[in-house]
Chain A
Amino acid sequence: MKLRNAVAFFALLVGAVLAGAAQASETIKIGLIEPMSGPIAAVGRDTLFAFEFWAGKVNERGGVLGGRQLEIVPLDNAMNAEKTTHQLKKAVDLGLRYVSQGVGSNHALNIIGFVNKHNKRNPDKSILYLNHAAVTTAFTNELCSFWHFRFDANVDMKVAALTTQMGLDPEVNKVYMLNQNYAYGRSFQAAARRLLQQRVPEAELVGDELIVPFGKVLDFTPFIAKIKASGADTVLTGNWGPDIHRFVKASMGSGLDVQFYTIYGGLTSSIAGYGGAAKSVNLKQVTEFHENDDVPSTKNLLPLMDEWQATYKQSGYSDRPRWLIEMLAAAMDKAGSDDPVAVGMAMEGLSFDGPLGQVVMRRDDHQMLMPLVVSSLTTQYERPVVYDGKDYGVAFSTDGHVSREDTSLPTTCQMKRPG
């Protein structure tokens, strides 16, 4: 190592220690429990990027509570239940009062259970769990907890948005459903059965299939043949990972002419998985925003997205991390404290200007209510999907917006608040 580097490193170290000492009591730490190693580490890494980016924006503005900075503490759970528990204990040891997580409903359930127990046993060290992507509807119904706030739309809301758009789509006449046979896939199936009847009454359900999940199905051709035989014009699926991209790949070159309505078909990893098929498939996704939307409130976000892309070499896929950080900051300022109970109380009913209009944290069940957008994969775009600096030559274009009222569904939650 060169001497200059050593000196610079030393200076940095001393600076960091001094700054740390000055701010130790001031920074507000948010633990981010995600897979940072293992096969889907890229997802955890991207989430960490997003949290650091948006926390940085708050800090640039002067932080929260009159000058305190936000700090994101990454905690790797390697997509493993034991390690999630380990990291929660570590978070307690580090004195963290806020944790966030989103990848994997199993881990989310684990965290809700842990936080409920921990806060009951240690009321003076309570922890708030901010969920940015785990979508199991039960978390804001029968399993709802004061200590859990969800910033993503749950499965039922996403299905509600998809079916609302399908009701407006004249090409939807015969629908074939194919889902993964596990908790998430089944809750998708149940919600879709119910909502198709309400929102697309004229359409006929010509197939309803469950498959063994997580890449166990290697060849989707027999399913393609069944779909073809059923005469379906629309496929409605909650599949993700290899279960969506092999499905889409198999449909290409088989002459099957259907449109895919999906939740996760637009994830960058899925688009990478489609390969050449991405440019010809008729695939739709539901999200809280996409970069090519014409809505002014989305357009206003683009300068920030440019900055994001310049830093992390990827286009924007979700806006939830921004909501989470910004609303946490707003709730702290509103409560005038960083105490999780006070912040939780302040968070209830809080609203925020999202990319498609106002989003609201519902008081009754801590579910964020939001408008959603259904969009199609296209090769005609202004801003392409970019990931790790690679331009995939596709993007999304809006089919329709679904209002907050249309995506909001009733809850069965009976919230128990502390004190």
Chain B
Amino acid sequence: MDWLRGLWIWAVAALALGVLPLGFDSGFALTILNQISVLIIFALAYNMLLGQGGMLSFGHAVYFGLAGYATAHFLNAMGSGAIPYVPVSLVPLLSGVVGLSFGVLIGYVSTRRAGTVFAMISLGFAEMATALTLVLIVFFNGEEGIQTDRFVGPEPFGITFGPDIEVYYLIAFWCLASVVAMYALTRTPFGRMCNAVRDNPERIQFIGYNPQRVRWQAFSLSSFFAGLAGGLHAINIEHVGFETVGLAQSGLVLFMVYIGGTRHFVGPILGAILITFMNSVLSDLTEAWFLYLGVVFVLIVMFAEAGLAGLLMMHEPIWKTELGLLRRLAMPYSAAIVATGVTAFGLVGLTEMLYFRSAEVTGRTVLALFGMNVETASAWPWIVCVLVAALGALACRATYPRAAVSWNDAISTVKARLAS
């Protein structure tokens, strides 16, 4: 019965992916959707390390990027007829194998330990890979990267991968397949072993398992999916550059996964969707976007270690017991959210004005902020923003405990019901 319910969710997801592009008539929106799908795979692969295996990597983009390069070369070789034709729809599998090979190789030496050592080794490999992309010009072509053309041959069923929509369905298919595969993996004994190795490696050793071996396997599988994502990325953008293997790309996926939530399977998906979307839309609106991203990340690390998904799933037992219980949370939660919003409003206003003042040289003093034209040369907007932020902070102090109390109440009700 349980697996039937699971099937139902996947069917809905497939349907949603199928009809989603019909709502858009724009190449830009499709590209964003494509990128979100690619990064969902990458983020889930990353979470196999961080969330399920307890390995913090600063260099997982290495496998993503190297597979991307290999895919670009592969497509080019196919295009020039140097190697026999393979349908482009199957090429991502090859990319995955490339990621897997590097993962097996590098994973062997780097997964002997977890925690800080692993993080440092990953940083070392990331730095080396970045430097090599610039030095080994024949394969990586320096900062220019590799151009490729996905339009290489007679694809079956008259598909050419010329139009974006066909690429969308290709990526959507692989995204769904990878998500299902990675979800299934978490349900296998191997997936459970990973969690156990994360939580208590000594104990695992006592039972007779080799934690290094489990980590190595998890790392390799994760590299496979990272490689698959990298291949799709190359097919989508038709260009692979040195930034795809770099620290910035690794950092971005870390942000996605951690902000989304490492403890729940949906966390990285949530993070990938949210951050990719924001990265495309918000970055056009504000220069301070990366600052906001960094601050949100730090706050999540400090106060919500399970990420956004964790915050949502905290309420799972409540709605599973009785939806009506959520109604009791509504008031205190809205108050807390409004207080947070007010604080953010004040702080964002201050930040935007500071950024504007530091970047502006032409003598303009009027900034378009929150749909208003603000005169930054006058003291008033600054005072207002500081006051709003302070007011918000006070409101937060007042409302957060109440929200916490209401959650505790609801949970104790749930516990009482379960006990009876």
Are the C-beta atoms of A80 and B243 separated by less than 8 Å? yes
Contact with B along A104-123 (1 / 0, CB 8 A): 11100110011001000100
Of the candidates A82, A212, A313, the one having the most CB atoms from chain B within 10 angstroms of its own CB is A82
B385 to chain A, nearest CB (A): 13
B119 to chain A, nearest CB (A): 21
Bound together, the chains give a CA A80 to CA B162 distance in angstroms of 23
B88 to chain A, nearest CB (A): 15
Contact with B along A69-86 (1 / 0, CB 8 A): 000000010101111011
Tell me the chain B residues, 38-79 only, with Cβ under 8 Å from chain A.
Answer: none
Given contacts A76-B283, A121-B162, A136-B144, contact A113 B32 (CB under 8 A): no
Is A350 part of the contact surface with B, judged by Cβ < 8 Å?
A: no
Q: Which of B32, B131, B144, B362 contacts A105 (CB 8 A)?
A: B144
Are the C-beta atoms of B290 and A9 separated by less than 8 Å? no
Bound together, the chains give a CA A212 to CA B141 distance in angstroms of 15
Is A182 part of the contact surface with B, judged by Cβ < 8 Å?
A: yes
Bound together, the chains give a CA A312 to CA B151 distance in angstroms of 46
Q: Which residues of A contact B239 (CB under 8 A)?
A: 81, 85, 109-110, 113
Is B110 part of the contact surface with A, judged by Cβ < 8 Å?
A: no
Are the C-beta atoms of B26 and A312 separated by less than 8 Å? no
Bound together, the chains give a CA A216 to CA B134 distance in angstroms of 12
Q: In this complex, what residue of A is CB-closest to B240?
A: A81
Q: Which residues of A contact B280 (CB under 8 A)?
A: 83, 86
Are the C-beta atoms of A93 and B27 separated by less than 8 Å? yes
Bound together, the chains give a CA A320 to CA B390 distance in angstroms of 49
Is B188 part of the contact surface with A, judged by Cβ < 8 Å?
A: no
Are the C-beta atoms of A93 and B26 separated by less than 8 Å? yes
Bound together, the chains give a CA A214 to CA B127 distance in angstroms of 13
Bound together, the chains give a CA A358 to CA B411 distance in angstroms of 80
Q: Which residues of B contact A182 (CB under 8 A)?
A: 134-135, 137, 142-143
Contact with A along B363-381 (1 / 0, CB 8 A): 1000000001111000000
Q: Which residues of B contact A85 (CB under 8 A)?
A: 31, 237-239
Are the C-beta atoms of A313 and B243 separated by less than 8 Å? no
Q: Which of A93, A117, A184, A388 contacts B143 (CB 8 A)?
A: A184
Are the C-beta atoms of B362 and A184 separated by less than 8 Å? no
A280 to chain B, nearest CB (A): 28
Is B289 part of the contact surface with A, judged by Cβ < 8 Å?
A: yes
Are the C-beta atoms of A106 and B144 separated by less than 8 Å? yes
B273 to chain A, nearest CB (A): 16
Contact with A along B132-146 (1 / 0, CB 8 A): 001101000111110
Are the C-beta atoms of A183 and B147 separated by less than 8 Å? no
Q: Which residues of B contact A414 (CB under 8 A)?
A: none
Are the C-beta atoms of B287 and A183 separated by less than 8 Å? no
Tell me the chain B residues, 127-180 only, with Cβ under 8 Å from chain A.
Answer: 131, 134-135, 137, 141-145, 147, 149, 151, 162, 164
Q: In this complex, what residue of B is CB-closest to A134?
A: B144
Given contacts A109-B144, A113-B147, A313-B362, contact A183 B137 (CB under 8 A): yes
Bound together, the chains give a CA A92 to CA B28 distance in angstroms of 8
Q: Which residues of B contact A80 (CB under 8 A)?
A: 243
Bound together, the chains give a CA A201 to CA B240 distance in angstroms of 41
Are the C-beta atoms of A1 and B372 separated by less than 8 Å? yes
Interface of chain B: mostly helix, strand, loop or mixed: helix
Is A38 part of the contact surface with B, judged by Cβ < 8 Å?
A: yes
B295 to chain A, nearest CB (A): 16
Bound together, the chains give a CA A143 to CA B301 distance in angstroms of 48
Tell me the chain B residues, 258-291 only, with Cβ under 8 Å from chain A.
Answer: 280, 283-284, 287, 289-290
Interface of chain A: mostly helix, strand, loop or mixed: helix
Is A37 part of the contact surface with B, judged by Cβ < 8 Å?
A: yes
Bound together, the chains give a CA A5 to CA B371 distance in angstroms of 12
Q: Which of B144, B289, B362 contacts A183 (CB 8 A)?
A: B144
Given contacts A86-B28, A106-B145, contact A216 B131 (CB under 8 A): yes
Bound together, the chains give a CA A38 to CA B373 distance in angstroms of 25
Of the candidates A81, A121, A181, the one having the most CB atoms from chain B within 10 angstroms of its own CB is A81
Are the C-beta atoms of A110 and B375 separated by less than 8 Å? no
Given contacts A80-B243, A113-B238, A121-B162, contact A314 B373 (CB under 8 A): no
Is A415 part of the contact surface with B, judged by Cβ < 8 Å?
A: no
For B, the interface residue count at a CB cutoff of 8 angstroms equals: 44
Are the C-beta atoms of B134 and A109 separated by less than 8 Å? no
Q: In this complex, what residue of A is CB-closest to B164?
A: A89
Are the C-beta atoms of B243 and A37 separated by less than 8 Å? no
Q: Which of A41, A86, A388 contacts B31 (CB 8 A)?
A: A86
Q: Which residues of B contact A184 (CB under 8 A)?
A: 142-143
Q: In this complex, what residue of A is CB-closest to B373?
A: A9
Is B241 part of the contact surface with A, judged by Cβ < 8 Å?
A: yes
Is B222 part of the contact surface with A, judged by Cβ < 8 Å?
A: no
Are the C-beta atoms of A37 and B287 separated by less than 8 Å? yes
Given contacts A85-B237, A93-B28, contact A37 B145 (CB under 8 A): no
Bound together, the chains give a CA A8 to CA B373 distance in angstroms of 10
Q: Which residues of A contact B242 (CB under 8 A)?
A: 106
Is B399 part of the contact surface with A, judged by Cβ < 8 Å?
A: no
Of the candidates B28, B242, B243, the one having the most CB atoms from chain A within 10 angstroms of its own CB is B28
Q: Which residues of A contact B359 (CB under 8 A)?
A: 41, 45
Given contacts A313-B361, A388-B361, contact A81 B241 (CB under 8 A): yes
A32 to chain B, nearest CB (A): 13
Are the C-beta atoms of B287 and A36 separated by less than 8 Å? yes
Q: In this complex, what residue of B is CB-closest to A81?
A: B241
Bound together, the chains give a CA A9 to CA B370 distance in angstroms of 13
Given contacts A1-B374, A80-B243, A113-B239, contact A86 B137 (CB under 8 A): no
Are the C-beta atoms of B144 and A78 separated by less than 8 Å? no
Q: Which residues of A contact B145 (CB under 8 A)?
A: 81, 106, 109-110
Is B95 part of the contact surface with A, judged by Cβ < 8 Å?
A: no
Is B35 part of the contact surface with A, judged by Cβ < 8 Å?
A: yes
Is A389 part of the contact surface with B, judged by Cβ < 8 Å?
A: yes
Q: In this complex, what residue of A is CB-closest to B151?
A: A117
Are the C-beta atoms of A86 and B32 separated by less than 8 Å? yes
Q: Which residues of A contact B374 (CB under 8 A)?
A: 1
Are the C-beta atoms of A9 and B372 separated by less than 8 Å? yes
Are the C-beta atoms of B131 and A212 separated by less than 8 Å? yes
Bound together, the chains give a CA A186 to CA B31 distance in angstroms of 34
Is B244 part of the contact surface with A, judged by Cβ < 8 Å?
A: yes
Q: Which of A41, A83, A214, A389 contacts B287 (CB 8 A)?
A: A41
Q: In this complex, what residue of A is CB-closest to B283?
A: A37
Bound together, the chains give a CA A165 to CA B32 distance in angstroms of 50
Bound together, the chains give a CA A214 to CA B280 distance in angstroms of 26
B157 to chain A, nearest CB (A): 19
Is A311 part of the contact surface with B, judged by Cβ < 8 Å?
A: yes
Contact with B along A214-258 (1 / 0, CB 8 A): 101000000000000000000000000000000000000000000
> Can you report 23 A-B residue pairs in the complex whose CB atoms are below 8 A from each other?
A1-B372, A1-B373, A1-B374, A5-B372, A8-B373, A80-B243, A81-B237, A83-B283, A105-B143, A105-B144, A106-B242, A110-B147, A110-B241, A113-B238, A114-B238, A181-B135, A182-B135, A182-B137, A183-B137, A212-B134, A313-B361, A313-B363, A388-B361
Known contacts A113-B239, A121-B162; 5 additional CB pairs below 8 A are: A81-B239, A81-B241, A106-B143, A109-B144, A113-B147
Those 6 A-B pairs whose CB atoms lie nearest each other, nearest first: A183-B142, A182-B142, A89-B27, A81-B241, A182-B134, A313-B361
